[in-house]
Amino acid sequence: MLFQLLINGIVKGALIALAGLGFALYYNTTRIFHIAYAAIYTSAAYFFFSFYRLFDQHWLPAFLFTAIATMILGLVIEGLVYRPLSRRHSSLNIILVASIGLMIVIVNLIAMLYGNEVKVIVQGISPSVSFGDMIITIPQIYQLFISLFFIISALLFLKLTRWGKITRAIRDDDQLSMAMGVNIWKMRFSLMAASSLLVAVPSVLTASDVGMDPFVGMPILLSSVVAIIIGGIGRFEGPIIGGFILGILQALVVWQFSTRWVEAATFALLILFLLFRPHGFIGERRREV
């Protein structure tokens, strides 16, 4: 039973890690607390539902169309809300409030169009594979390996490409990057597109397995933020470490108690880190100036 729940925790941790990486990609470089990220996650699930079920597309083209639509949604948010507010030198608190408003509008629009009930994308019982006493469903295998593929690809892209080096430079000092000739506004569009793509993947994988409703985005947003804090704010590797820790912790809580205690355990862990290790596992201590 324990090993079964650990496998479930690792799979869930991979999904949280990927979503956390997408959030960190935008937050670490802009310092904008992108609450509308939750709405982008929800929108991706409903985009996939529309392409796969309503328009009767095969899984792969439906996913590709979903990825494109999700990135376009992120670019619209960046271009129509975040960028104008940033150019007016609005405070991060004002942008945060605008982001909350965006999330509410998008979620309620989805509820109006699709209803509040749970939508199921794939009907029937999922096939599974047994390893002794452990049972892993085929959707879980897809979730784990596709998430790992995107996580590794994103880290390699950040490490080896010119775009990744510029991204890390902006993370460290955006003003110096601008002085060195980096077009911050152009980079922000690409960062938003990449962030939206990364969150679309766990959204589609999860919705394909357990379905979705218009309010699925906020739990993954909270888990992503907790993963970032646990792993280390400012480091792109941080949410990956934090995501797997969080996924395994939640699985152990389900094993020992029940699913009702998952959120309590998650935020208890967050409070412990904020009190005793606010820079996370691999975050850097910074001197306040």
The whole-number pLDDT of residue 4 equals 80
* Residue 184 within any structural domain of the chain: yes
Question: How far apart are the C-alpha atoms of 113 and 213, rounded to whole Å?
Answer: 12
Poorest-pLDDT segment among 59-63, 101-105, 261-265: 261-265
The whole-number pLDDT of residue 149 equals 97
The whole-number pLDDT of residue 284 equals 62
Residue 288 has pLDDT above 60, yes or no: no
Domain that holds residue 46: 2-276
Among residues 206, 210, 205, 248, which one has the least CA distance to residue 227? 248
The whole-number pLDDT of residue 106 equals 97
pLDDT in tens, 81-124: 999 999 999 999 999 999 999 999 999 999 999 999 999 998 77
The whole-number pLDDT of residue 5 equals 81
* Residue 231 within any structural domain of the chain: yes
* Residue 21 within any structural domain of the chain: yes
The whole-number pLDDT of residue 256 equals 80
* Residue 61 within any structural domain of the chain: yes
Question: How far apart are the C-alpha atoms of 246 and 241, rounded to whole Å?
Answer: 9
The average confidence (pLDDT) of the chain is 92
| Residues 246-252, mean pLDDT to the nearest whole number | 90
* Residue 70 within any structural domain of the chain: yes
Which residues make Cβ contacts (< 8 Å) with residue 274, sequence separation at least 6? Answer: 229
pLDDT in tens, 27-55: 999 999 999 999 999 999 999 999 998 88
* Residue 46 within any structural domain of the chain: yes
Beta strand 128-131 with 134-137 is: antiparallel
pTM for the full model? 0.93
The whole-number pLDDT of residue 131 equals 76
Concatenate the DSSP letters of all residues of 208-233 into one string.
HHH-B-TT-HHHHHHHHHHHHHHH-T
- Per-residue pLDDT band at 135 (split at 50, 70, 90): confident
Cα angle 60-225-80, degrees, rounded to a multiple of 5: 70
CATH number at residue 253: 1.10.3470
The whole-number pLDDT of residue 282 equals 83
The whole-number pLDDT of residue 132 equals 74
The whole-number pLDDT of residue 123 equals 79
Percent of the chain with pLDDT over 70: 97
**Number of domains the chain contains:** 1
The whole-number pLDDT of residue 289 equals 41
pLDDT in tens, 182-235: 999 999 999 999 999 999 999 999 999 999 999 999 999 999 999 999 999 889
* Residue 113 within any structural domain of the chain: yes
* Residue 227 within any structural domain of the chain: yes
